[in-house]
Structure 1
């Protein structure tokens, strides 16, 4: 893990001065249209967080790789930045499905509440990311008619994993939205729940494991030995 100790999907609120300095140093706003540039320039001033992402080749490992997506009306571009490790930033609590249901389209609320109920039943605390998260945090229109519900789940004990994966499949089948997201392993690495469920059923099945350093194919069953 990079020396700053953050994990993928952590939410950080950056002090506006540090945000402004980072944008000046990156020079990455030149490719944006005026409306998009103004939105990004004022992001931290509005108190909106950014999300920690995995680094890319050549990144300073002492820096904090973060990102934010533009809303669909502005092109849905995913922007990546590097914050210096010493910048002023504070952790923001993750957002639960039940919280997000208060700002989500009405047709998604039963599915979000069912996900919250599943978490309570299994003693887990799922968190939302993707379009639902950004719409909840900013009030901007991120959710479209075809948007997924993206959820993060901490991996349960091996005995509870099958129940979690089968229950997620049932919630996905029930709809109306496609249920996507990741299972977070104890070391902070992550795998897509749908891919994991399919590959665990196959001898020698492999899954793409995501970490702060990149991605790697590994044997699904060996992740839980």
Structure 2
């Protein structure tokens, strides 16, 4: 995630006011995947405003020189300390699962934005989104089983992605389902593309 400033002349008046206030407070935006024809000399970024501000999903471009700083990934253990009380046991269990497997999951989505901004993004029924960097196939099966258990016992629905050593990511539920089929495919995303790949070949 990035702290940034830049021209917002292309936005309508109300969203522009919201984003200008966002920038004045030094709050971050997130790098997003660009589209064909985008200006490659600028960074494509996104800003999801919280429900109380209309839940707008804004996308724009920032010149490279306007990036003020990058924001480190938020660990699950750190997120648990600032999460609502009813979610902490589940998050602490996810952090413990990571430690047991030698993995270091990070938080994204509503919990991340709430932690970074102090604004209310989480609502009753919100998912908890986790990123799990995994480079070894031998850790994957136990991780997927552990996530399924944590998801089933709640209270929140666990969502998120398994991120490969290539930087590509796949939704953990979709990957788990695809691995049960000899020819199962899963949607694999990167900053440049999204394509279906054979799940069993991802760690070969």
Q: Which TM-score band (shorter chain)?
A: over 0.9
Following superposition, the deviation at residue 68 of structure 1 comes to: 1.4
Alignment RMSD (CA, Å): 1.4
Following superposition, the deviation at residue 200 of structure 1 comes to: 0.9
Q: Which residue of structure 2 aligns with residue 150 of structure 1?
A: 129
Q: Which residue of structure 1 aligns with residue 2 of structure 2?
A: 12
SS of 2:23 mapped into structure 1 = coil
Following superposition, the deviation at residue 109 of structure 1 comes to: 0.7
Q: Which residue of structure 2 aligns with residue 94 of structure 1?
A: 73
Q: Which whole-Å CA distance do the structure 2 matches of 1:61 and 1:204 have between them?
A: 36
**Which structure 1 residue ranges, 5 or more long, are not aligned?**
1-10
Q: Which whole-Å CA distance do the structure 1 matches of 2:54 and 2:21 have between them?
A: 18
Q: Which residue of structure 1 aligns with residue 186 of structure 2?
A: 207
Following superposition, the deviation at residue 190 of structure 1 comes to: 0.7
SS of 2:34 mapped into structure 1 = coil
Scaled by the length of structure 2, the TM-score of the pair is: 0.94
Deviates more, 1:193-202 or 1:81-90: 81-90
Q: Which residue of structure 2 aligns with residue 69 of structure 1?
A: 48
Q: Which whole-Å CA distance do the structure 1 matches of 2:164 and 2:42 have between them?
A: 23
Following superposition, the deviation at residue 80 of structure 1 comes to: 1.1
2:146 paired with 1:167: yes
Deviates more, 1:89-98 or 1:198-207: 89-98
Scaled by the length of structure 1, the TM-score of the pair is: 0.86
Q: Which whole-Å CA distance do the structure 2 matches of 1:222 and 1:156 have between them?
A: 13
Q: Which whole-Å CA distance do the structure 1 matches of 2:39 and 2:45 have between them?
A: 12
**Which structure 2 residue ranges, 5 or more long, are not aligned?**
none
2:23 paired with 1:44: yes
SS of 2:81 mapped into structure 1 = coil
Deviates more, 1:55-64 or 1:67-76: 55-64
2:196 paired with 1:217: yes
Q: Which whole-Å CA distance do the structure 2 matches of 1:211 and 1:37 have between them?
A: 29
SS of 1:50 mapped into structure 2 = strand
Q: Which whole-Å CA distance do the structure 2 matches of 1:170 and 1:164 have between them?
A: 10
User: Does the 8 Å contact 1:55/1:214 carry over to 2?
Assistant: no
Structure 1 residues 138 and 177, CA gap change in structure 2 (3 angstroms): same
Following superposition, the deviation at residue 219 of structure 1 comes to: 0.8
Following superposition, the deviation at residue 62 of structure 1 comes to: 3.0
User: Does the 8 Å contact 1:184/1:190 carry over to 2?
Assistant: yes
Q: Which has the higher contact order (CA 8 A, sep 6+)?
A: 1
User: Does the 8 Å contact 1:103/1:135 carry over to 2?
Assistant: no
Following superposition, the deviation at residue 74 of structure 1 comes to: 2.2
Q: Which whole-Å CA distance do the structure 1 matches of 2:186 and 2:164 have between them?
A: 13
